[in-house]
Amino acid sequence: MKRLLSYSLILLVMACASGKKAFERGDYTLAVNQAIERLRQKPDHTKSQEALRLAYPLAVEYLESLATSTIASDAPFKWKTAMGYYNQINALHDQVKTSPAALRIIKTPVSKFTEIAELKKKAADESYEAGIQAMMRNTRSDAIRAFYLFQEANSFEPGYKDVVELQYQAEYNATLRIQYKEISYRNREDWVAVEPILNNMRLPFTKFYTAEQAENEKAPIHHTMLIEILGYAEGNPNITRNERNFVDSVQVDRTVGGKKVKVYEKVTGRATMFEKRAQSRGMVQITIKELSTEKQLLVNEFVGNGTWTGSWSRCAGDQRALPENVRNACGRSEPQPDGEGMLRMARQDVQRQIERSLTQFYRI
């Protein structure tokens, strides 16, 4: 609760900020944004008007100087970096344009849309060249980096050179391919299937194959995965009993002196309460190896559990003395375990564990 109040207080302070303090710290961009947000709520707010009037030209000047010095440097990805500074100027432009109160103060906000359009081809070229260099290093991590660099180049200038083909090639080189085999034995071997989990997983640069799929695609395999369905069993139910005596006072009608009156009388009851509990357990083992070296990379045993409980009571005496939940169970017959429910719970439990483990193992 304290955290929620603190967060709400921070939001309130940010909403009420005029931008004056940010301006005094030299954070001109923040000062502009805070001032405009305040003016959206209160168009005549004097401090915000003054902060915007002073901070806006300084913010634009500062961002322009950063862009200019970056372009003049030999810094890597200088064109993309310069575009970032120009984009910040454009963001301020849009903020002013969409606030009538701000537009009365900054009548001609600066934009750099033309400059960005001119830089896009150069930014595409530098990302493209960096992608080529990454591809030449011939490692999976560099192929992943190349993929995103080519993607970036294509976003700057769609269809730039052969960037689309190179992006596909980088993705192919970066993809880790795992061929899996599922073996089921012992009892209830059909209680769970791991294959649907693999088919539904969306891991970047990771793909799972059956032997047939790998053969059809002629795909180079990096890992093998053996999935062993070790079986499923349900334990014998365990019954616990608890005997209790209950005493209560209930209101009843009595005739006293020829008149009906309400009085309280003591009532007693007795209940023997039973609870039956049954548990199920299923196991799956997954072994992952590196195909080229046969090195074992992972061996995990996953245990899925299911639990069922049922209750009933045997009652004697005056049932008005019994609590409602006990009274409702008095006429209930002894329930039998829900085998399908326990199996479903165990299946879902082990599937969650497997998905979480594989996601963690193959996370980039």
C-alpha 120: how far from its chain's center?
33
Q: Are residues 256 and 245 in the same domain?
A: yes
Secondary structure class of 74 (helix, strand, coil): coil
DSSP state of 191: S
Domain end call among 111, 140, 155: 111
| CA separation for the pair 52, 32 (Å, rounded) | 5
Q: What does the pLDDT read at residue 10?
A: 41
Q: Are residues 168 and 272 in the same domain?
A: no
Q: Are residues 186 and 168 in the same domain?
A: no
Q: Are residues 306 and 211 in the same domain?
A: yes
Q: Give me the average pLDDT of each 10-residue run along the chain (364 residues).
A: 45 58 93 96 94 96 97 96 97 97 96 96 97 97 98 96 97 97 78 93 95 93 96 94 90 74 84 95 96 96 96 91 88 92 96 96 92
In a domain, 44, yes or no: yes
| CA separation for the pair 250, 156 (Å, rounded) | 82
Q: Are residues 47 and 165 in the same domain?
A: no
Which value, to the nearest 10 degrees, does the dihedral of the CA atoms of residues 332, 337, 341, 347 take? 160
Domain end call among 70, 93, 111: 111
Q: How many domains is the chain partitioned into structurally?
A: 3
| CA separation for the pair 318, 245 (Å, rounded) | 11
Q: Are residues 92 and 170 in the same domain?
A: no
> Would you say 49 and 39 are in contact if contact means Cβ atoms under 8 Å apart?
yes
In a domain, 247, yes or no: yes
> Would you say 279 and 342 are in contact if contact means Cβ atoms under 8 Å apart?
yes
In a domain, 5, yes or no: no
Q: Are residues 209 and 351 in the same domain?
A: yes
Domain that holds residue 270: 175-364
**pTM (2 decimals)?**
0.78
Q: What does the pLDDT read at residue 19?
A: 84
Q: Are residues 138 and 27 in the same domain?
A: no
Written as one letter, the residue type at 104 is: R
Q: What does the pLDDT read at residue 2?
A: 45
In a domain, 11, yes or no: no
DSSP state of 111: -
Q: Are residues 242 and 325 in the same domain?
A: yes
From the list 281, 276, 273, 263, the residue with the least C-alpha distance to 330 is 273
Q: Are residues 134 and 271 in the same domain?
A: no
Return the ∠ at Cα 191 (arms to 302 and 177), rounded to 5°. Answer: 55
In a domain, 279, yes or no: yes
In a domain, 9, yes or no: no
Q: Are residues 360 and 214 in the same domain?
A: yes
In a domain, 294, yes or no: yes
Q: Are residues 145 and 219 in the same domain?
A: no
Domain end call among 131, 159, 174: 174
